[in-house]
Amino acid sequence: MNIVILDSVSANPGDLSWDFLKKYGELTVYDRSLTEDLVIERAKEAEIVILNKTVITRRVVENLPKLRLIALLATGYNVIDCAACSECGVMVANVPSYSGFAVAQQTFAFILEYANRVALHSESVLSGGWAGSPDFSYFLSPLCELKNKTIGLIGYGNIGKKVAEIARVFEMRVLVNTAHPEKYPDAPVEFKNLDEMLPQCDFVSLHAPLTPETNGLVNKNFISKMKTGAFLVNNARGGELNEQDVADALNSGKLGGLGADVLSTEPPKADNPLLSAKNVFITPHIAWASLETRTRLMGILEKNISCFIEGKPQNIVNM
């Protein structure tokens, strides 16, 4: 079996080993493969291709006649032309439900940073602000408790449920918007439509997949329904925000702040309006990147490949 990894550094910058794959066949590892032509050249003999965010177009699929499996190092598979893969007999396997704890943790990292402003005050102290203060204590921005605050979750899958669990520990009220609330009759949350939910929320956090329905969901109309000063979190997909509308709301004060681990284009263009907006915390798509999470990812990847080779494919998203 000829196995090619097209973009190894995103999931494994060097702190993990790929050796576990060598027992399944000949392995070739590339740091990055940034063009269609390079992907075709590197994968032309591959039967299994492993990737995280390398784009696989119809042209690529049609020019890889030996390809039988695309094994993703991710849950989302929007970078792949799955229809073309199906037509060419190529299976696409993703890695579901590996990062729920980490993404929920990142969600509250943003929320707690906004509530406590740890970085702002630490920077002030380390630059001499406390040593030069006449008072034993000072604060540079409003601070808030999470107790009795209301958080609204859009999406109630694996990650949304974990965020709700953490929110309840902080004694927050949890509202949820999801397409099928009837699936969760015993959930300890309140299900609401968006018109009911948004005006009540101090925090709104996105945990829905990027679909035609959620693409650009958070726009001027959506924001107009939110409580003035609410904090928005996006650890889902960058395309779920109309970034200009969100930036305008941040700069006007309609939104109190934004925590985002994803943007519509990654890496972002220098003129992305969120990069210069007020009260923004942005991280470079790292919610999934803890060592423990990536180790779990590798384990599921190996299982996907071994099951495929044994003729019992799992986690197939296109057939």
The sign of the torsion formed by the CA atoms of 216, 219, 221, 222 equals positive
Q: Provide the pLDDT for residue 284.
A: 96
Task: Please check the confidence at residue 78 and state whether its pLDDT lies above 90.
Answer: no
Q: Is the pTM of this model over 0.75?
A: yes
Average pLDDT over residues 166-192: 95
Amino acid identity of residue 230, one-letter, is A
Residue type, 26: E
In angstroms, the CA 296 to CA 98 distance is: 6
Rounded Cα gap, residues 46 and 18, in angstroms: 17
**Lateral strand order in the sheet of 26-29:** 26-29, 2-5, 48-51, 69-72, 91-93
Q: Which residue has the higher pLDDT, 255 or 10?
A: 255
Scan for tokens 């177009």, then name that residue: 57
Q: What is the pLDDT of residues 28-44, one digit of tens each?
A: 999 999 999 999 999 99
Task: Say yes or no to pLDDT of 10 above 90.
Answer: no
- pLDDT confidence band for 319 (50 / 70 / 90): confident
Q: Tell me: the pLDDT tens digits for 219-239?
A: 999 999 999 999 999 999 999
Find the mean pLDDT for residues 175-179: 96
pLDDT of residue 154: 97
Confidence check: pLDDT of 18 > 90: yes
Residue 266 is predicted with a pLDDT of 93
Q: What proportion of the chain, given as a percentage, has pLDDT over 90?
A: 96
Predicted local confidence at residue 311, as pLDDT: 96
Is the pLDDT at 270 greater than 90? The verdict is yes
Residue scoring higher pLDDT (105 or 210): 105
First to last CA, the chain: 22
pLDDT at 55: 96
Assess whether pLDDT exceeds 90 at residue 173.
yes
Interatomic CA distance for residues 262 and 240, integer angstroms: 10
pLDDT of 205 strictly over 90: yes
Q: Residue 268 pLDDT more than 90?
A: yes
Residues carrying an active site annotation: 237, 266, 285
Tell me the pLDDT of the chain averaged across its residues.
96
